[in-house]
Amino acid sequence: MANQMPAEHGQANQQKQAEPRRRKGLGPMAKKEAQLAFQMLLPTFAIVLAIVLIPLAANFWISFKPIKLADLRPPAPVVSERVRGDMGVAGEEFTVEYRLRGSSQSKPIKDIELVDTLPPGVTLLALDPACTANGNQIRCTLDLLEIGERKTLVLSVTGDTTFSSNPVSPRDSKPDISGFAENVLTSNEFTLDNFRRIFSATEFWNVLWVTMAYTIFGTIGALLFGMFAAQLLNTAFVGRPILRGLFLFPYVAPVIAVAFTWVVLLDPFSGTFNAILVRMNLVENGINFFGQRMAEFNFFGTVVPFPLALSSVIAFEIWRYFPLSFLFILARMQSISSDMYEAAEVDGATPMQQFWHISLPQLAAILSTLFLLRFIWTFNKFDDIFLLTGGAAGTRTLTVDVYEQAFAVSNLGAGAAVAVVIFMALLLFAFFFFRFMNREES
């Protein structure tokens, strides 16, 4: 026995000394394989990074810009051409007018150049001081066009007999015009006004709390209903495959179809659900589930107010997305060995004790992953709420606020700032989530 112990000790020491030698480096062939694998994956990494990082960087860039929706179009000079006089009389003088203005209401336009060609048979009589002529080609230049300023360049011309017999309007040839203006989107002008505006507004904090309530209750509800459905369909019975397929219907059905189905069913005037409630004498009039901000119900003699529209939207979120949790949880349940349940049953464990002490610990990993994914997806959810309520009646979330700021109010910078807040909130949540999970695993 004493002789065996030193021998085992020596083998262990040799293995420990061999491990650093193995880790020192790869062989020449392994290095070449690693380099080749990296080179083959590099285009994929580059494409994925470009798809992810370029829109993200653009969103951060816009959030620090005082930019409106109209500013997406670069400022440029705009020209409209007018002809005054009778072109059908040979030798009769008429005028060609170029009316210039800037397309931006916030930026002046510099170094404007207009080039146009007069039709054959037209002779110049007088030029605007800003213009020069080279044959029938007209070139006009302006140093600056101030914000809101309009300028008119006038040419006096006449037509010969050939032109007058078949006059061709100078307006038929559109002038080429160019100019330079500083684009707020690409300039070095940055501001924190967008963030000051959203953080100083009381409405933003209300929207944030609505988003948190919608996300937390929607995520937890989807997980609980998914777990309940998985537990229900984990036992074999006749018709189980058909029922499993039906349980997936809310998730695979088009969102616009199921959203409008809910709106029709819960309509306060002609909805089926309200008709049933009225027929059962549970309510006197139909309930506006998606249009009423607050409602009251009698809870053991106490009147309790609660957000009706928000609760209805959360119920839709749970109903629509519990099948995803159900699918993953069911797959994990079926991988748990039945011997564990048989041994617990022999020991006298009740079904609830079996679930609590066997199923739940085995499901902890998949539940945490589903919670992370569903929290992020629900926090970013836009289409469900927009289709059901449009963000009205106290259901406006941050994603709906991004749309409202950017397109309804046309403040693209403020919308991008709200999107940055969403990104930072989710980044902070993921950081603490993984920190907590790593601590639990260790």
pLDDT of residue 312: 94
Output the domain CATH number for residue 108: 2.60.40.290
Tell whether 223 and 122 lie within a shared domain: no
pLDDT at 29 over 60: yes
Q: With a cut of 70, say whether residue 196 has pLDDT above it.
A: yes
Flag whether pLDDT at 8 surpasses 60.
no
In-domain check, residue 28 = no
pLDDT at 147: 85
Question: What pLDDT was estimated at residue 25?
Answer: 56
How does the average pLDDT of the chain come out, rounded? 85
Structure tokens at 391: 């963000």
**Residue 226 and residue 79 share a domain:** no
Mapped to the 3 state alphabet, what secondary structure does the chain carry? CCCHHHHHHHHHHHHHHHHHHHHCCCCHHHHHHHHHHHHHHHHHHHHHHHHHHHHHHHHHHHHCCCCCHHHHCCCCEEEEEEEECCCCCCCCEEEEEEEEEECCCCCCEEEEEEEEECCCCEEEEECCCCEEEECCEEEEEEEEECCCCEEEEEEEEEECHHHHHCCCCHHHCCCEEEEECCCCCCCCCCCCHHHHHHHHCHHHHHHHHHHHHHHHHHHHHHHHHHHHHHHHCCCCCCCHHHHHHHHCHHHHCCHHHHHHHHHHHCCCCCCHHHHHHHHCCCCCCCCCCCCCCEEEEEECCEEEEEEHHHHHHHHHHHHHHHHHHHHHHHHHHHCCCHHHHHHHHHCCCCHHHHHHHHHHHHHHHHHHHHHHHHHHHHHCCCHHHHHHCCCCCCCCCHHHHHHHHHHHCCCHHHHHHHHHHHHHHHHHHHHHHHHHHHHHHC
Last residue of a domain, one of 122, 150, 180: 180
CA distance 167 to 87: 6
**CATH number of 414's domain:** 1.10.3720.10
Residue 17 within any structural domain of the chain: no
Model pLDDT, residue 21? 47
pLDDT score at 436: 79
Model confidence at 175, pLDDT cuts 50, 70, 90, reads confident
Domain shared by 110 and 257, yes or no? no
- Can you give the pLDDT at residue 2? 46
- Indicate whether 1 pLDDT > 50: no
Domain count for the chain, please give it: 2
| Residue 367 confidence (pLDDT) | 92
- The verdict on residue 35 lying in a domain is no
Q: Which residue would you say has higher pLDDT here, 429 or 240?
A: 429
Same domain (yes/no): 336, 401? yes
| Together in a domain, 257 and 156 | no
Residues 293 and 361 in one domain: yes
Domain of 156 in residue numbering reads as 72-180
| pLDDT value at residue 64 | 92
Give the pLDDT confidence of 36-74 residue by residue, as tens digits.
Answer: 888 888 888 888 888 888 888 889 999 998 888 777 777
Instruction: Note the Cα 166 to chain centre separation in Å.
Output: 57
* pLDDT per residue as tens digits for the range 232-288: 888 878 888 888 888 899 999 999 999 999 999 999 888 899 899 888 888 888 889
pLDDT tens string 70-105: 777 778 888 888 888 877 777 888 888 899 988 877
Sign, CA dihedral 65-68-71-73, equals positive
Are 256 and 393 members of one domain? yes
| Tokens describing residue 54 | 């370029």
Q: Binning pLDDT at 50, 70 and 90, where does residue 14 land?
A: low
Task: Please tell me whether residues 240 and 210 are part of one structural domain.
Answer: yes
Q: What is d(CA 174, CA 163) in angstroms, rounded to the nearest whole number?
A: 19
Co-location of 205 and 309 in the same domain: yes
Domain assignment of residue 156, yes or no: yes
Cα-based distances in Å from 222 to 99, 218, 285, 310:
62, 6, 30, 16
Predicted pLDDT at 256? 92
Last residue of a domain, one of 152, 180, 208: 180
Q: Are residues 271 and 372 in the same domain?
A: yes
Q: What is the pLDDT of residues 415-428, one digit of tens each?
A: 999 999 999 999 99
Task: Provide the pLDDT for residue 440.
Answer: 56
- Tell me the pLDDT band of 119, cut-offs 50, 70 and 90: confident
Taking residues 346-357, report their average pLDDT: 86
